[in-house]
Structure 1
Amino acid sequence: MSDVVITPNKPIAIELEPGTYYRCACGKSTNQPFCSGAHHGTGLTPIAFEVKEKREVHLCNCGKTANSPYCDGSHAK
């Protein structure tokens, strides 16, 4: 996942294989945008989500979405 580009206030577009993923919620992960376990002791919990078939997803990167972990366009408002 080293080819993931994370730009503030723009969604993270990434193609994922089927499986369960955990979106980092604390900002401390060494595996952004996914959880590396660095949240321990922060009181925060990663956001679990499932991908049922290989597809591109757009993950929220602004924290304003109502459809976490997915972008709903709130960053543009």
Structure 2
Amino acid sequence: MNTIISGRVRKLVSATLIQPWILPIITAPKVQLSTLPTEPVIAAKKPFKVELIGGKRHSWCACGHSKKQPFCDGAHKTKAQGLIPLRFVPEKDSKAWLCGCKYTANPPYCDGTHKQEFIQSALLPVNTHS
């Protein structure tokens, strides 16, 4: 009996592969794999001037959703699960310009990318907090 079932399965598979138009069309339900953005949200069209504390770990927001820009407040956990903050520890106390557009090639530091047209013409998210 196992041979007969196996033979039927083989015939069905080969018929499906060789002549799929003979079998009724079965459509699988559409599955949406992700609704999460793969690109960060532009939080600002200019960098943030900050005072960094040497030896302290800082978490730069990479998703753009944080209300504590340029630092992470955990918003990526619900709004941009594919993006995580960049954690870094400066060697000494210093002033720095941290990227606000989130498209720098030198994260977390600004490299001037915010001056490009695609950043300057972008709409900024509405800040619901004062």
Same fold by TM-score greater than 0.5: yes
Number of aligned positions between the proteins: 71
In terms of fraction of residues, the more strand-rich structure is 1
Partner of 2:112: 73
| Higher RCO (C-alpha under 8 Å, 6+ residues apart) | 1
> Aligned-pair distance for 1:28?
2.7
Structure whose residues are more often helix by fraction: 2
Q: Specify whether residues 74 and 29 from structure 1 end up closer, same or farther in structure 2 by C-alpha distance, changes over 3 A only.
A: closer
Q: TM-score, normalised by structure 1?
A: 0.74
Which of these residues, 11, 36, 40, is aligned with residue 77 of structure 2? Answer: 40
Unmatched runs of 5 consecutive residues or more in structure 2? 1-42, 117-130
The Cα offsets for residues 43-72 of structure 1, whole Å up to 9 and x where unpaired, read as 211011221111101111123311011011
SS in 2 for 1:40: helix
- Quick one: percent identity of the two aligned structures? 45
List runs of 5+ in structure 1 lacking aligned partners: 1-6
Normalised TM-score (structure 2): 0.48
**Structure 2 CA distance for partners of 1:47 and 1:76, relative to 1, 3 Å:** same
Task: Give the alignment's Cα RMSD to 1 decimal.
Answer: 1.9
Partner of 1:4: none
Q: Is the 8 A contact 2:62 2:102 kept in 1?
A: no
Q: Give the AA of the match of 1:10.
A: K
Q: Which has the larger radius of gyration?
A: 2
